[in-house]
Chains A and B, each alone.
Chain A
Amino acid sequence: MMSETKSALLLVGSPKGEISTSASLGNYLLQLLAEADFKTAKAIIHRFVNRSEKVEELLSMVNNADIIILSFPLYVDSLPAPVIKAMELIRDNGNEGQRKTQDFIAISNCGFPESSQIEVALEICKNFAEEVNFNWRGGLALGGGGAVNGRPIDERGGMLRNVIKGLEITAEYLSKGEDIPNKAIELVSKSIIPSGMYKMMGNLGWRIQARRYGVLKRMKDQPDLN
């Protein structure tokens, strides 16, 4: 924490780890911070929180970061349970004195086209930051995460140009120790695909997958009634 080179830690909150949209978004921002001379590190939360020998390692990584970036998928209107577990562990670990110098941001993506459905989850992140004494620098919300589908975002073409620009602005402001500006928040939250088209393509995509597994006609089964 005393060195001049600042450090950024990416916490990936998806159980899919490196092949997740959460990792795609976080990796891109982390790469931009590396180019701005940040020392970077990354942890897939699910690999740490349920193993007592790994919890200390995770807490140590958090304690040593100047900026913590949490990137997660929306699960049931909130954060995936292991991410909440990690937050509880950070809270219970104490160390508030140091945290006043640490910045915290969140990036979330969801399978619904409207990024507004992520607002509550980002509020939870803000509440967490305030409770544990991190500097809340803001949150980014991406709707229609299926369009990224875990691939590097700079390989996804013009469809993600607003997201890329938003992350570039975010990196610039974080490097200066400032909050994520509204301009970046708005760019990332802009609709990638019109909602009607997303609904049609999504419904078709699920049917194609079910057919592949031979369960197309059983998709509406109700196994829990009996």
Chain B
Amino acid sequence: MKALILDGFQNVDDSIESISKGIIETLKEHSWEVESIFLKERDITPCQGCFDCWVKNPGSCKTDDDAREIRKKWVQSDLIIHYTPITFGGYSSQLKKLMDRFIPVLLPFFQKIDGEIHHKFRYESRPSIIVIGYLNKPNDAQEKTFRKLVKRNSLNMGAPLHDVIIHSENGDKSDLFNQFKTLIRKLEVK
């Protein structure tokens, strides 16, 4: 089983780094093949909104940068872990810049899911998504928005399973790792 960690932090301190290391160790203990990408160090250009990836070069983006390689890894993974500072209830701009470039994994064609229009999926097999959001201090409104956002993303990207773990700066890391282990076991059972 392959897991890809997409790390959307701008600045990394000991606390943020120790969580990242703990996630990698947990996955390895459960025999997952893990790769972690620190997005700040990669060359990723914002999406131009041209839709060439749907009508000119189906499934590929015309921009030749690191997003191409990461998108391929995304498609070939069983689990994606988004690790991000919660930013106004959403993802950091660093992580979002990459996510905006994942449009080629969808088809332009529409389908109805639960009465709403969504895009069809390009690939039959799609990764599950776990999102770990980091809050400097507890913020109920942003936490609520963040959970809704992850749910909608998972619906639109066709993730078989999704979940959110929210960690505050002064929170107990062992709680976070226990939650993470439970989610990993759930994925293994599936």
Which of B51, B56, B89, B123 lies in contact with A127, CB distance below 8 A? B89
B148 at the A/B interface (Cβ < 8 Å)? yes
**In the complex the two chains form, is A195's CB within 8 Å of B46's CB?**
no
Which of B54, B91, B109, B141 lies in contact with A84, CB distance below 8 A? B91
**In the complex the two chains form, is B96's CB within 8 Å of A84's CB?**
yes
**In the complex the two chains form, is A84's CB within 8 Å of B90's CB?**
yes
**In the complex the two chains form, is B59's CB within 8 Å of A222's CB?**
yes
**In the complex the two chains form, is A82's CB within 8 Å of B93's CB?**
yes
A152 at the A/B interface (Cβ < 8 Å)? no
Instruction: Pick the most buried of A119, A123, A125: most chain B CB atoms within 10 A of its CB.
Output: A123
**In the complex the two chains form, is B88's CB within 8 Å of A87's CB?**
yes
| Binary interface encoding of chain A residues 199-217 relative to chain B, with 1 for a CB under 8 A from any of its CBs, else 0 | 1001100100110110100
A114 at the A/B interface (Cβ < 8 Å)? yes
**In the complex the two chains form, is B110's CB within 8 Å of A203's CB?**
yes
CB within 8 Å of A: which B139-183 residues = 141-142, 145, 148-149, 152-153, 156
A153 to chain B, nearest CB (A): 19
**Can you name the residue of chain B whose Cβ is closest to the Cβ of A210?**
B55
Q: Given A76-B102, A84-B92, A203-B109, do A120 and B149 touch, yes or no (CB 8 Å)? A: yes
A131 at the A/B interface (Cβ < 8 Å)? yes
What is the interface of chain A, defined by CB distance below 8 A to chain B? 14-16, 20, 46, 50, 73, 75-82, 84-85, 87-88, 112-114, 116-117, 119-120, 123-125, 127-128, 130-131, 195, 198-199, 202-203, 206, 209-210, 212-213, 215, 218-225
Can you give 26 contacting A-B residue pairs, CB < 8 Å?
Answer: A15-B47, A46-B46, A76-B99, A76-B156, A77-B153, A78-B96, A81-B100, A82-B93, A84-B87, A113-B117, A127-B88, A127-B89, A127-B141, A127-B142, A131-B88, A198-B110, A202-B110, A203-B108, A206-B109, A209-B55, A210-B54, A215-B56, A215-B58, A219-B54, A223-B58, A225-B123
